[in-house]
Structure 1
Amino acid sequence: MVQWFQTKVIPFMSKISRLKYLLVLRDSFMLAFPATIFGSFSVVLMNLPFAPEGFTKIVTEIFGNANNATMAIMTIFVSLGIGFYLAKAKDYNDDAHFVAITTLVSFFLVTPTSRVLESGDTITGLFNISNLGASGMFVGMIVSFIAAELHCFVIKKGWKITMPEMVPATVAKSFSALIPMLFSLIIVTLLNYGITKISGNNLHVLIFMWLQAPLLGIGGTFGALMVTQFLIQLFWFFGIHGHNVVNPITSPIFTTLGLQNLEAYTHGQERVNIITQQFQDIFTVGLGGSGMTLIVVLMMIFVMKSKTLKSLGRLAIGPGMFNVNEPVTFGLPVVLNPLAFVPWVFGTMLCAAIAYFAMKFGLVPLTTGVAIPWTTPIFISGIMATNSLAGGILQLVQAAVIGIIWFPFLKAIDKQYLKNDIEEEE
């Protein structure tokens, strides 16, 4: 079975994880990470539990627009990133910024600027901010990839305006990008016009109904959580970075679900998505890294008897506090260790399920959609992700369950190392 997995499954999934479009998508989501962290901490400051009303009022006056300028317009950053990184992936480095402009403009071209109010009046000349965030995410991704490919196609064909050598380089590059950009924008405009006329709906409505809503519906289920967690842990068990394989596929869905929660949270509405990118980061990785091994490290130091595990625990506790657990994964080791398979894979799945049902039954608030760095220590990250003390307590409960599951297996590993220690001393 191990041989079959290593020779058949891992090479196949590794190829998927290296697909150009998935890598571009992954890098595009990370492009605005610093800005989204700023927006997220601003939202946290404006909604601190038990904060004095005067403090909240002042903070809101100062940072009130931070979310609208960052998280709420996430699709703009993703569209820019897709153009930039796809051009880089095709080795058109000098044209990357022009391709990014093409993808951004293309997204705006298909985004309606008119809205019908509840009163029945129609306003024009304004973008609906929800179309620039969660609602427009899949439109932005699809249109940006199409526009970027069209732009790169024209570059490859060599269709460009070449200026004389005496023309400044900046001006020459702008003219060189003119035909590729015009070609892409015209095609996108005509496609949008044709689809709109034939269907009677704009592209945002169509993609949301036929693609985004079904994918989000599937991605937000308990089954999707279990499959995702199982695959991540299984790949790690075989020495493959599970998150690098799975996240490029799941991140667009989980991030969009998180943005929906954020929109609801900032407007005082009920949050509906249990599974979000924040759930994945905080209530699985956030307990000591993949496998939730912080409690395992503590047991190595204070409960286990072998010198090897105690030394490994002292080495791993520092990184583990910030959810980096490669010392455990490769030092215990977890990789290809039969004694670690059950707690590593199924223990993590059980604890993810505990978090899911704790939120489903209202014991813990759902994640707010605020972006929390995955390196944030346990308990603090749980509170910040849910804006509730219950989020931190949930992480502690998960850690205790992981410790109980791991104990007999870790004890068996400890006996092996203890036997080796005795033999070395003799």
Structure 2
Amino acid sequence: MEKGTFNTFVNKRIMPPVMKFVNTKAVKALQDGMIYSLPFIIIGSVFLILSNFPIPAVSDALRNSGWSSFFTQAYTASFGVLSIWAVVGIAYVYVRNEGYEALPAGLTSLSAFLLIQLMSIDNPLVATMGKSGSGITNSAGTVIMSGKAVAENIDKLPHVLQTFLSSPVTGVLNITWLGGQGMIAAIIVGLLTGWSYSGMLKKGWKITLPEQVPASVAKQFTAMIPAGVILTTSMLIYAVFKAFLNTDLTQYVYKLLEMPMQGLSDSLVGALVIGFAVSFFWFFGVHGGLIVGTIAGVFLLPNTAANAALYHAGKLTLANGAHIVTNEFYNNFINLTGSGITIGLVIFTLFAAKSTQMKTLGKIELVPAIFNINEPFLFGLPLVMNPFLAIPFFLTPVVVALSTYLIIYFGIVPPLNGVAAPWTTPAVLSGFLIGGWKMAIWQFVTLVISTAIYFPFAKKYDAILYKKEMDKLASEKAEKQEVAE
């Protein structure tokens, strides 16, 4: 297929349905609603680092002083309840975009999300018992009674008392399902709440009070019928799952949808597809980061949250279920220094370019590239629809995704720790935050990989630009000479 024919095929056959999907009400609500969780993810990551400080001496001091438990509390109440921010934000944005007061919808969505869950947790005593039990620890994390000793002492109690002590604790919210493991259920509830809430208001399902009633009060009565319908439906759903399946919708969705999708996104194929897709969409002038980030983030954020929980528990290994591909894998490797990992192109323009165009754009792009922004290159160089730089633009993120996946898989560097460094964090520093000094070194290596891949292609493109500039100068000089004569 010729270049022009291929471009026409992509622009007419692939892009329209993709853009139509991206601009649907549901995807817009998902995209903008998830943003509300960003402050809690980043702030919570700071507390996660403090509660598990990477320097052992400092970590021990914080744990012995009790400060680690305070930092843990802050992490749990921010990053640890990620699904709460998502379920509120998604419904809020959906209804706001429909032109109605949105906060009641967000709160209704939260109530529905909590309602569909079993409000119980396994008794902590159960996990401490037996040879494989954790035992009982003090506030400093020191085991003061082994799992075997706990079991032996429990066995001495009357059977009725043993049963009571090991029964689930009821009447509580299970933090597990308010974090990353509840994300898909939160998205489903948020979208369905936003859709049904706004739909009922469009049909006039609301209580209208006299004009004399204050607006703040009247608005709450407007929300009463939609909220009542949604919560009643949620209660019936909870009852069905509890009575017939002895589980709840959140756990059912996790096993049926989230675990398989997380596995797919966490695979080598998933990493390569994500790496290629970002550059592919950008090449045709469509915001690849926005499209891929919105879709992939649904499954990568739970991976991040799962790794954060393992890191906090001191069990961050692949053997314990840690994920390789997380949201930070996407932000801080696949998109490092901007889509296409264009730092190699920046280095070429600064030190080896001859054309004025590349040298000038290199100076403009240097500072944005440090903070992972490369729009000056995407549209100024350009990289969009540029056949001379298409190969390194597509190839670099794929090579980095492949190599990063493999070095984590084979244990050369540890899995990413779940810390959510902002996507604008400079390279190497972000590597240290999300994975320690080994990851920082590897992130530097990826910059070298980018330079090695881009250099020969950039050199050829620069030679073409330089020739055009020289030809233009020669032509202008000839014209001036003709005028002078």
Shift of 1:195: 3.1
Q: Partner residue of 1:27?
A: 32
Q: Which residue of 1 aligns with 2:161?
A: none
8 Å Cα contact 1:44/1:370 also seen in 2: yes
Residue equivalent to 1:79: 87
Alignment of 1:347-366 (within 5 A): 347-366=396-415
Q: Confirm whether residue 389 of structure 1 aligns to residue 437 of structure 2.
A: yes
**Structure 1 residue 74: Cα displacement:** 0.6
- Larger deviation, residues 208-217 vs 197-206: 197-206
Specify the alignment match of 1:5 in structure 2: 10
Aligned-partner SS, 2:181? coil
What SS is found at the alignment partner of 2:121? strand
TM-fit CA distance, 1:77: 0.6
Q: Which moved more, 1:40-49 or 1:245-254?
A: 40-49
Does the 8 A contact of 2:113 with 2:186 survive in 1?
yes
**SS state at 1:409 partner:** helix
What is the identity, as a one-letter code, of the residue corresponding to 2:361?
L
| Structure 1 residues 302-341: aligned runs within 5 Å | 302-341=351-390
Q: How does 1:4-403 map to 2 (within 5 A)?
A: 4-50=9-55, 52-53=57-58, 56-57=62-63, 60=68, 62-92=70-100, 94=101, 96-117=102-123, 119=126, 120-271=166-317, 272-286=322-336, 288-386=337-435, 388-403=436-451
2:163 maps to none
Determine if the alignment matches structure 1 residue 412 to structure 2 residue 460: yes
The Cα of 1:61 is off from its aligned counterpart by 5.4
Q: Is the 8 A contact 1:147 1:188 kept in 2?
A: no
1:282 shift after superposition: 0.6
CA distance in 2 between partners of 1:309 and 1:64 (Å): 49
User: Per-residue displacement from partner, 1:302-339 (whole Å, max 9, x unpaired)?
Assistant: 12222221111111101111111011112221111111
- TM-score, scaled relative to structure 2: 0.84
Give distance in 2, aligned partners of 1:278 and 1:123: 35
> Aligned to 1:339, what secondary structure does the other structure show?
coil
Task: Give me the whole-angstrom Cα distance separating, in 1, the residues matched to 2:15 and 2:206.
Answer: 43
Partner Cα distance (1:348, 1:326) in 2:
16
Name the CA distance, whole Å, in 2 between partners of 1:278 and 1:186: 39
Letter in structure 2 aligned against 1:10:
M
TM-score by length of structure 1 reads 0.95
The 2-side partners of 1:332 and 1:51 are apart by 47
Name which of structure 1's ranges 97-106 and 163-172 shifts more when overlaid on structure 2.
163-172
TM-aligned CA distance change 1:233 to 1:140, over 3 Å: same
Letter in 2 for 1:35: F
- Which string of whole-angstrom CA distances, capped at 9 and with x for unpartnered residues, describes residues 273-304 of structure 1? 00000110011212x11111123202211122
- Contact 2:29–2:191, Cα closer than 8 Å, also in 1: no
d(CA) in 1 for partners of 2:384, 2:462: 16
**Residue 51 (structure 1) shift:** 5.9
Q: Whole-Å Cα distance in 1 between the matches of residues 75 and 294 of structure 2?
A: 25
Using the alignment, how far apart are the partners of 2:272 and 2:338 within structure 1?
17
Greater shift, 181-190 or 42-51, is seen at: 42-51
Instruction: List structure 1 segments (4+ residues) > 6 angstroms apart after TM superposition.
Output: none
In the alignment, the residues of structure 1 paired with residue 187 and residue 297 of structure 2 have an alpha-carbon distance, to the nearest angstrom, of 13
TM-superposed CA distance for 1:147, in Å, is 2.8
CA drift of 1:62 comes to 4.9
Asked whether the 8 Å contact 2:340–2:394 carries over to 1, the reply is yes
8 Å contact 1:150–1:183 — kept in the other structure? no
In the alignment, the residues of structure 1 paired with residue 349 and residue 91 of structure 2 have an alpha-carbon distance, to the nearest angstrom, of 47
- Measure, in 2, the Cα distance between the counterparts of 1:157 and 1:240: 36
The amino acid of 2:220's aligned partner reads S
Change (3 A) 1:270 1:52: closer
Q: Name whichever of 56-65 and 372-381 sits farther off.
A: 56-65
Q: Distance in 2 between matches of 1:351 and 1:327?
A: 22
| CA distance in structure 2 between the aligned counterparts of 1:291 and 1:405, rounded to whole angstroms | 11
**1:220-269 CA distances to partner (integer Å, 9 max, x unpaired)?**
11101111221111111111111112222111100011111111111111
CA distance in 2, matches of 1:161, 1:359: 57
SS in 2 for 1:64: helix
Task: Give aligned-pair identity as a percent.
Answer: 31
- Alpha-carbon shift at residue 391 of structure 1 (Å): 1.0
CA distance in 2, matches of 1:268, 1:305: 52
Distance 1:28 1:45 in 2: 28
Distance in 1 between residues matched to 2:168 and 2:291, nearest whole Å? 46
Task: Name stretches of at least 5 consecutive residues in structure 2 with no aligned partner.
Answer: 1-5, 127-165, 475-485
Letter of the 2:446 counterpart: Q
Superposition deviation, residue 112 in structure 1: 1.2
One-letter amino acid of the counterpart of residue 48, structure 2:
V
